[in-house]
Structure 1
């Protein structure tokens, strides 16, 4: 009996720990020669493997074409999940696919990977790819009928719409059934649109239905969906596209309400933290400080303390400390025997804070020009913060050329604490402050300073 059982155990063991291969070909051929494979875990990418790309030729459309190809082995311990092959630094840089204990092989155009991919191996990816193709075709047919009626209410497309509606549901149900027990099943279920069974005659009703039913099939507790880009992409769609307004003030209102709605759907606190951090980084690109503050104050700071990342919070607070709309970070200095602080200055309606250096040729050209110009602006004072390694050249220069300004010496130059707080990486760098020391402008150069002050 033992002799009979042993081969079976060995077979099971070899199947359980078999290494699988990921193969890909990109047409047209890439200039780069590397590829990195990651596994998606929540909102993060975890390194799995890397390889070099080689040039091959494939028969495409009846003729041979040069392609960039790769093949790499997954570790024997690799778990089912969403994986990401990254192959460039700019543009469309990656392709996502599923791995579920089978070899995966595909070909795609690296300029628009997800739209062009075709799988030659992997039943899971082939099924999901076919689903996306078929459901998109049916949904577009349904949407085109609906939009035609919205554009021309006199059209009688009720029966045509009902047939298209049945066709969409038939395709959805077919693939839900085919996906049972497969890794891609949650993605197919979550991809469904909740269309109205009857055609709508109002654009507002149409848009309201999309918005109100957006989350009906999204399960934010499903680990398979969480460990992919699927839910993240849906969050981005809802926050930035479904809730859109041309008016900037209304857009801020919509951002806040859409964020509240998204986060109310997430019960997993760790995943909620990751989504909040992800959204903060999205709004970071547009420097939308109002929404970033809202995300921290309304949501992030209310997470359990043990889930809050103090390093993340400190980094973001430091990153935005000197942006327009913020109160300028405080600093102090000695001037004519008096101790002064930026926050308590009260001798002007506006201030120009300029970080400069006696060792900077641009500064030595612009600072005299600024000095002459500021004589025409008696209600605006200059705070000249000199980044120096020592005081000798600065002391001589400011006593001779910059009388009447608030002159501050910042030793240690680029590593000066105040300079780092203001994220100074070049000189001269300008800030315009109001009387309350709120940053109201960050001019790029002296002409921008003049242009802004002329409007005041």
Structure 2
């Protein structure tokens, strides 16, 4: 009996700690790159594994069951490869083009071969199919070229649903993409979305469909957004993980688009829940509490700071601080940060300091741009995977906060003009 129990425990251990592997044949240029594998919970990406690289093979071990979309991120080239996990081993190889952009991705597992074919078909449907339909109008049905065009149009317009047998996630993903496709929103009503969210099976959260479909739901609900959101939340039940994930997504969407009244209403509803709160909603509640007016902004220990010898945000002493989250690739930052630079001497004269946190993936790009500005700047070099998002509720760049001498948030301006107006700097 003891031997049987021991054998069982070994089997359980193997099952628990080695669910599946992902192996990628990479160019030698990436042999020293950090490579990360992410899964999804709604729009939030969850780190599942960091690659071990040997002999130009990047290997990931995933020790948890996971079915859904995944993404391998290659930090050195700041690029990713999307794939589908069915909790089975995945293998692919890839090249880099002359600009070090990922190219020629070739999957060896059947699931991702199907997924890749679908992606390619979708591109053709979006780019080629409309042109073929227009061209066909110039020919007569009796002409051979018309028949060839008609045949190609039919081929591009149809999907081989039989191929999805045995691939339930791919079947779910392809069947329900209409909810996240902006071009097909006109065909749907708010009730269609509510029915979809309340009756979808286990794959919704890992499909990457949730957030774009919620944005589409809000668009088709524009005549009565609040009323339809209330109906949706009743239907999905806020005492369930799905209901709380949807509530979290909605709060973040309202925050992103400046719909403050709705954000405040549903954030209050989240705070008043008496049931167990899932991690996703808990992080949304915490991030908003961290950054509400009057809250003491959480400290941040610098990791790659320039223009300072200070070790953290709290070490910067000033009567007021402007904290700005930005990126070298952000066009709005390009337009707004020079306006802060113009007023920097006046700000300094009033004992006001600026502290920037960059959401750049490349530290080289961060430093090249940050050196143009004389104020304190720091970056983790992790892009949107930086800790800033969860800690400070950052959903867009630039995002501004004004702190007092005790690091309490006294203002959350929307634009650089609002920052300067609040501080009365002309």
User: What residue in structure 2 maps to residue 187 of structure 1?
Assistant: 173
Contact kept, 8 Å, 2:67 with 2:86, in 1: the verdict is yes
- In the TM superposition, 1:244-323 aligns within 5 A as 266=236, 269-285=240-256, 288-296=259-267, 300=270, 305-307=275-277, 312-313=284-285, 315-321=287-293
Contact kept, 8 Å, 1:141 with 1:164, in 2: the verdict is no
Partner SS state of residue 115, structure 2: helix
Q: CA deviation at 1:123?
A: 0.5
Q: 1:119 aligns with which of 83, 106, 125?
A: 106
User: What residue in structure 2 maps to residue 365 of structure 1?
Assistant: 349
User: What residue in structure 1 maps to residue 49 of structure 2?
Assistant: 49
CA distance 1:103–1:366, shift in 2 (3 Å): closer
Partner SS state of residue 33, structure 1: coil
User: What residue in structure 2 maps to residue 35 of structure 1?
Assistant: 35
Q: 2:198, 2:96 → 1: CA distance?
A: 31
- In the TM superposition, 1:113-152 aligns within 5 A as 118-138=105-125, 140-144=127-131
| Larger RCO (CA within 8 A; separation ≥ 6) | 2
User: What residue in structure 1 maps to residue 206 of structure 2?
Assistant: 228
Q: 1:70 aligns with which of 58, 69, 75?
A: 58
Q: CA deviation at 1:449?
A: 1.6
Gaps of 5+ in 2: 296-317, 322-344, 352-402
Q: 1:221, 1:23 → 2: CA distance?
A: 35
Who wins on radius of gyration, i.e. which is larger? 1
Q: 2:347, 2:290 → 1: CA distance?
A: 26
Q: 2:22, 2:412 → 1: CA distance?
A: 52
Question: Does 1:178 pair with 2:150?
Answer: no
Contact kept, 8 Å, 2:237 with 2:243, in 1: the verdict is yes
Residues 119-150 of structure 1: CA deviation (Å, up to 9, x unaligned): 3311111112212322442455554578x69x
Taking structure 2 as the reference length, the TM-score comes to 0.51
Residues 406-427 of structure 1: CA deviation (Å, up to 9, x unaligned): xxxxxxxxxx99834326xxxx
User: What residue in structure 2 maps to residue 62 of structure 1?
Assistant: none
Q: 2:92, 2:36 → 1: CA distance?
A: 16
CA distance 1:104–1:25, shift in 2 (3 Å): closer
Contact kept, 8 Å, 2:320 with 2:405, in 1: the verdict is no
Q: CA deviation at 1:321?
A: 1.8
User: What residue in structure 2 maps to residue 435 of structure 1?
Assistant: none
Gaps of 5+ in 1: 1-5, 57-68, 196-204, 245-249, 324-353, 368-415, 424-429, 433-438, 452-456
User: What residue in structure 2 maps to residue 61 of structure 1?
Assistant: none
User: What residue in structure 2 maps to residue 24 of structure 1?
Assistant: 24
CA distance 1:96–1:213, shift in 2 (3 Å): farther
Q: 1:165, 1:53 → 2: CA distance?
A: 44
User: What residue in structure 1 maps to residue 424 of structure 2?
Assistant: 449
Contact kept, 8 Å, 1:97 with 1:125, in 2: the verdict is yes
Q: Number of aligned pairs? A: 308
CA distance 1:293–1:237, shift in 2 (3 Å): closer
Contact kept, 8 Å, 2:319 with 2:405, in 1: the verdict is no
Partner SS state of residue 40, structure 2: strand
CA distance 1:286–1:31, shift in 2 (3 Å): farther
Query: What RMSD, in angstroms, separates the aligned Cα atoms of the two structures?
Result: 5.7
